[in-house]
Amino acid sequence: MEDDKRSTPRHRVLKAATISFGGGAISCTVRNLSVSGASLDVASPIGIPDAIVLEVEGVRRQCRVIWRTERRIGVRFGDANDKAKPASVPGGKPRDR
């Protein structure tokens, strides 16, 4: 029986990462990862806004928080300010400036 409704499969990982928002940053741990999003362990999701930047292994990704629990958040990768962006369009290369 298939209960996982994700559009892309996630892979279990254990990677240190940083969540940035509003001029500040907090540490987190990436628990699972896919091409479209990730699950992150955090000390507390309180105060983490819906739009964040996740940095893992030197790569920064714009994200939108999709769900929250007591110590974990789920994020979707993409332009956190543009919900109308088609899912089939790759995020593209970050601008140098």
35-81, pLDDT tens digit by residue?
999 999 999 999 999 999 999 999 999 999 999 999 999 999 995 44
Whether residue 89 is predicted with pLDDT greater than 80 in this model: the reply is no
Whole-angstrom distance, CA of residue 32 vs CA of residue 48: 19
Whether residue 97 is predicted with pLDDT greater than 70 in this model: the reply is no
Look at domain 11-77 and name its CATH class.
mainly beta
pLDDT for the residue numbered 59: 95
Boundaries of every domain in the chain: 11-77
Whole-angstrom distance, CA of residue 76 vs CA of residue 80: 9
Mean pLDDT calculated for residue range 18-29: 95
Whole-angstrom distance, CA of residue 86 vs CA of residue 2: 26
pLDDT for the residue numbered 10: 77
Task: Estimate to the nearest angstrom the gap between the alpha carbon of 67 and the chain centroid.
Answer: 11
